[in-house]
Structure formats: C-alpha cells, structure tokens
C-alpha cells in the first residue's frame, strides 16, 4: 500500500506542475549558396597615358611627315596642342580630336583608314599602325583625350 501512496503523491505533484507549453525546437537554417569567388565582376578602367603611350605612337609613326604636312607638329612636346580641340586644316570646321568622341575626330578616321577624310595615315608605303596602337589611340580619345 505504501507504493500506492508513493505513486499517488507523484501523480499529484506531476499534475500540479506548471504547463510550460511546447518545447521550443531550433528552426532549421535555410541553406545558403556558396559565394563564387572565381569571378570578379569589378569593372576597372585604366586611363591611357597620353605622353608615354599615345605621343610615343605619333613620334614613332607620324612625326616623320608631321611637320611639315598638314600644319601640325607631332613631336611629343607639341602633338597634344596641335590635335585636341583643334580645327582640321583640310576638313574645317571638323576637329582633329574631339575628347570622348571618335566619330567626330578626324584623326581617328585618318588612322583607322575608313576613307571618310581621305587617305589613311600613315599613307600606304609607310609603316602602318598596329592593331594595338590603334586600340591605344581609340582608348585615349574615348577616355576624353587627357593630357596625362
């Protein structure tokens, strides 16, 4: 009979316990896609340096004839002031180089050889500009024809 009393006491105590509600369960953490570190989408622009890159091309490939032809001196120390925002001698009122605008730049049409402004420069028979040199000139004009 003692054991009935013991079980009864345990049941009474258990029935008086405060209801704590449901036992909290940790929520599952949703899976996170791993970060792809193999692809860098940062856009980096590097300004084409006028004096060390562009003027060097003019000196190597254009200076032999300029001066005296075309009313412009393409020696490195003079080329910038003879090109940028300067009205073309043969194609006025067009400008030789319009910063940021290839289509409006007579120089670009001459060196790219599209024929809009006459003969390609350098003319046939002279050492032509390489694709890399053309890209350098294009980048320089596109980037605003800076004197840097």
Q: Residue 57: what are its φ and ψ, rounded to 5°?
A: -65, -45
113's tokens: 């050889």
If you average pLDDT over every residue of the chain, what do you get? 81
Q: For residues 9 and 3, what is the distance between their CA atoms, to the nearest angstrom?
A: 10
What is the C-alpha end-to-end distance of the chain, expressed in Å?
105
Mean pLDDT of 108-119: 94
pLDDT class of 64 with cuts at 50, 70, 90: confident
pLDDT class of 113 with cuts at 50, 70, 90: very high
In this structure, of 6-10, 81-85, 101-105, 124-128, the range with the lowest mean pLDDT score is 6-10
pLDDT class of 71 with cuts at 50, 70, 90: confident
In this structure, of 16-25, 31-40, 53-62, 111-120, the range with the lowest mean pLDDT score is 16-25
Q: Kindly state the percentage of the chain with pLDDT values over 90.
A: 54
Higher per-residue confidence, 70 vs 87: 87
Does residue 21 register a pLDDT over 80? Answer: no
Tokens 């294009």 belong to which residue?
A: 138
Candidate ranges 77-81, 104-108, 115-119, 121-125; pick with highest mean pLDDT = 104-108
């Amino acid at each position: 009979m003692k054991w009935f009393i013991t079980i009864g006491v345990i049941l009474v105590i258990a029935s008086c316990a405060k209801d704590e509600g449901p036992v909290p369960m940790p929520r599952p953490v949703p899976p996170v896609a791993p970060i792809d570190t193999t692809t860098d989408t940062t856009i980096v622009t590097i300004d084409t340096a006028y004096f060390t890159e562009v003027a060097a091309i003019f000196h190597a490939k254009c200076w032999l004839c300029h001066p005296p032809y075309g009313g412009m001196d393409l020696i490195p120390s003079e080329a910038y002031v003879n090109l940028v925002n300067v009205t073309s001698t043969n194609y006025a009122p067009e400008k030789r180089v319009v910063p940021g605008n290839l289509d409006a730049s007579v120089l670009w049409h001459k060196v790219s050889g599209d024929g809009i402004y006459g003969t390609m420069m350098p003319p046939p028979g002279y050492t032509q500009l390489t694709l890399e040199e053309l890209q350098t000139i294009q980048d320089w004009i596109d980037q605003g024809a800076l004197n840097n």
